[in-house]
Structure 1
Amino acid sequence: MVELLLVLPENRALPLQPDATDRKLLRELQRDSHRSVQVLGDTVGLSPSACHRRIRALEEAGFVQGYRAELDAGRLGFAMQFFIEVGLTSQSEAALDAFEAAVQDIPEVLECHLMAGQSDYILRVICRDHEDFEHLHRRLSARLPGVARIHSNMSIRRVKARSGLPI
């Protein structure tokens, strides 16, 4: 078996799949990326400089796509969350591209997934209240190209949330 390696700066060759230490480091970064390199290194058994080199290599290899703060939607006034199933009039490449381009400009749409099954897309949206949702629903119906049907489901409460991957 031949193992493919990605050669990165500092002459460190990183396997296309992270090793056990890299996986441990990725788990810790998912849990809390705000910690210092010293603390992260201590947690995974690396010196600060080795930890920093591994983090940089994981970032450069695309395993880490960014860092962000997780905000509390409710405290910011977004009390309602909906999952909206969208069916299009056509599934042509042009129709899908037009829909996907248009949905990018709607800030209340947090996620958009192309689906296999009954719906063409599922959107996860947030709203402040019922009136805000009504305006959003009208905008979705009028603004998104090729929409044949919209079916909305309101989330009562989140039972489980996980932002990290099970690595």
Structure 2
Amino acid sequence: MITIDDTDRRILVELQRDASQSLDRLGDKVNLSRNACWRRIRALEAAGVIKGRVTLLDADRLGLSLTVFMQIRTNAHAPDWLVRFSDATKSMPEILGVDRMTGDLDYLIRARVRDMADYDRLYQSLIRKVPLSDVSASFVMEEIKETTELPL
């Protein structure tokens, strides 16, 4: 873990809100020159704190209106199975996140699809690629909060 001071934290908060803003605008917000901002951003990138910069899209406007959480249980815990599972989920663009869990659940998958038929195609594709002992799904009825901003 690296040491992040208050100025770094303010820069990170601003970049999380809008990574496309100019260095001049960012500098004004955090009371630094554009060059000082640039140096700090480069240092944060080099340290791995800033992993990348992206454009956030509106999934509904792109026809991907159904969010599904797939709860996965498996009897297979061998390293080769995990590699197959990891490769399979990483190869499927509908899958936005995969987490290994504690408790009853082995894995939780978050995916974005067009509709139920699209979800079924995703499900069928996944079970063809890797054996699973149990898959259940929950569908989001209302998204109350969605953010990529970390609480700094």
- The match for 1:148 among 112, 118, 133 is 133
> Is 1:55 the counterpart of 2:54 in the alignment?
no
Tell me the CA shift for residue 103 of structure 1: 1.1
Identity %: 36
Distance (Å, rounded) in 2 between the aligned partners of 1:92 and 1:77: 37
Alpha-carbon distance between aligned partners in 1 of 2:70 and 2:57, rounded to the nearest angstrom: 22
Structure 1 ranges of 4+ moved more than 6 A: none
Greater alpha carbon shift after TM alignment, 79-88 vs 131-140: 131-140
Picking from 44, 55, 60, the partner of 1:69 is 55
Bigger relative CO (Cα 8 Å, ≥ 6 apart)? 2
Letter of the aligned partner of 1:43 in structure 2? K
Q: Is the 8 A contact 1:89 1:146 kept in 2?
A: no
Q: Distance in 2 between matches of 1:130 and 1:98?
A: 25
Partners of 1:29 and 1:79 lie apart in 2 by: 27
* Partner Cα distance (1:92, 1:119) in 2: 17
CA RMSD of aligned residues (A): 1.3
After superposition, residues 70-149 of structure 1 pair within 5 angstroms as 70-143=56-129, 145-149=130-134
1:56 CA displacement? 0.8
CA distance in 2, matches of 1:52, 1:135: 45
Larger Rg: 1
In the TM superposition, what are the counterparts of 1:16-31 in structure 2 within 5 Å? Answer: 16-31=2-17
Deviations 1:108-163 (A, max 9, x none): 111111111111111011111121112112112222x2311101000112101120
Which structure carries more strand by proportion?
A: 1
Report 1:35-54 matches (<5 A): 35-54=21-40
Partner Cα separation in structure 1 for residue 114 and residue 131 of structure 2: 27
Offset from partner CA, 1:36-85 (integer Å, 9 cap, x none): 00010110010111111111111111110000000000100111110001
Which whole-Å CA distance do the structure 2 matches of 1:77 and 1:96 have between them? 32
